[in-house]
Amino acid sequence: MDTPPAMNILPAMNASSPAPITPQDPSFISALARGLAVIRAFGQGRERLTLADIAKATDLPRATVRRSLLTLQALGYVSNDGKHFMLTPSVLSLGYAYLSATPLPRAIQPTLEMVSEKTNESSSAAILDGPEIVYVARAATRRIMSVGLSTGSRLPAYCSSLGRVLLAFEPRERAAELIARIRPQKLTPHTVTDAQALLAILDEVRTRGYSLVDEELEIGLRSIAVPVRNASGQVVAAMNVSAQAGRISRDDLLRDILPVLTAAAASVQPALA
């Protein structure tokens, strides 16, 4: 595995599209931003949170968090047992709106399943979302990480094969800004955290067309990833195969897996407008 947009898979802005705004802009709705921050406070290991837990996680005043939670509860996105708050299944509709609106997950899922069948290893696809990657499709043959991964899971981009591919095809200045924003940490003794070393790695990835990450994200995990381009040649995602290091070597990844991944990425390109 390792496995989110280095390449934006949303339509390009045209002259009639609204320009992006900053939090300081009068059009910015702070209440909406705070409500989304409250939703993002939940996650694996954080399924049931108190108001104080959420205030600490979001760095928002308790009164602000309370109003957001009550609003989300009224809308059906949050439930409350008297002390703890929990997300409800209605939250899934927010993510499903994205998945159903873009052809990428639908187009790439059968390809990932084919890759996993050919390699007998797990295969995933992801996009870039700030300094993190977001999984948009996955075909898992076995659990290969200490944490479970599924569509919507997020990982840091700087130390994952998918993330390095996506960062490599961003403008170099943008990649540097994203690396600085996440403040790379050593997840294993092998994790590269120096910003200049990471940028040099991204240059190599861009040149050779793939990224191989060896036990930098998690000990015992190797993965290799390639870019996925749309019909216009723009990189819109990355696709990878991940395996336990004790079962497959770096040479195996390059010799046996990389050609399968490269062919799979090329095969899905015509379906991505």
pLDDT per position as a tens digit, 170-226: 999 999 999 999 889 999 999 999 999 999 999 999 999 999 999 999 999 999 999
Structurally, what CATH architecture does the domain formed by 96-271 represent? 2-Layer Sandwich (3.30)
**pLDDT, mean of residues 140-144:** 67
CA 127-173-128 angle, 5° bins: 5
Of the pLDDT bands very low, low, confident and very high (cuts 50, 70, 90), residue 28 is confident
Half-sphere exposure of 246 (CA within 13 A, CB side): 4
Instruction: Convert 77-87 to b/e letters by CB count within 10 Å (16 or more is b).
Output: bbeeeeeebeb
Of the pLDDT bands very low, low, confident and very high (cuts 50, 70, 90), residue 79 is very high
Residue 23 is given by DSSP the state: T
* Amino acid, single-letter form, for residue 271: A
Per-residue pLDDT, 10: 34
**pLDDT, mean of residues 138-147:** 68
| 9, pLDDT greater than 80 | no
pTM over 0.75: no
CA 135 to chain centre: 5
Structure tokens at 4: 């989110």
Per-chain mean pLDDT for the chain = 87
Per-residue pLDDT, 187: 95
DSSP-H helix ranges across 62-143: 62-74, 92-101, 104-119
- Distance from C-alpha of 123 to C-alpha of 150, rounded to nearest angstrom: 11
Per-residue pLDDT, 23: 80
With a CB cutoff of 8 Å and minimum separation 6, the contacts of 26 are none
Which sequence spans correspond to the domains of the chain?
30-91, 96-271
By percentage, how much of the chain surpasses pLDDT 90? 69
| 25, pLDDT greater than 90 | no
Helix (H) / strand (E) containing 259: helix 258-268
Tokens 């696809």: give the residue.
125
Cβ–Cβ < 8 Å for 184, 191: yes
Of the pLDDT bands very low, low, confident and very high (cuts 50, 70, 90), residue 104 is confident
CA 258 to chain centre: 21
CATH number of the domain at 30-91, out of 3.80.10.10, 3.10.20.30, 1.10.340.30, 1.10.10.10?
Answer: 1.10.10.10
Residue 254 is given by DSSP the state: I
The residue that leads in pLDDT, 176 or 4, is 176
N residues, the chain: 273
The residue that leads in pLDDT, 166 or 14, is 166
**pLDDT, mean of residues 45-51:** 91
pLDDT per position as a tens digit, 228-258: 999 999 999 999 999 999 999 999 999 999 9
| Cα–Cα distances in angstroms (integers) from residue 200 to residues 169, 175, 193, 224, in the given order | 13, 11, 12, 18
User: Which is it for strands 122-129 and 154-156: parallel, antiparallel or unpaired?
Assistant: unpaired
Tokens 């993965």: give the residue.
223
Strand partners, 85: 49, 80
Cβ–Cβ < 8 Å for 244, 221: yes
Of the pLDDT bands very low, low, confident and very high (cuts 50, 70, 90), residue 68 is very high
Tokens 């007998």: give the residue.
120
Cβ–Cβ < 8 Å for 105, 151: yes
> In the chain, how long is the greatest CA-to-CA distance?
58
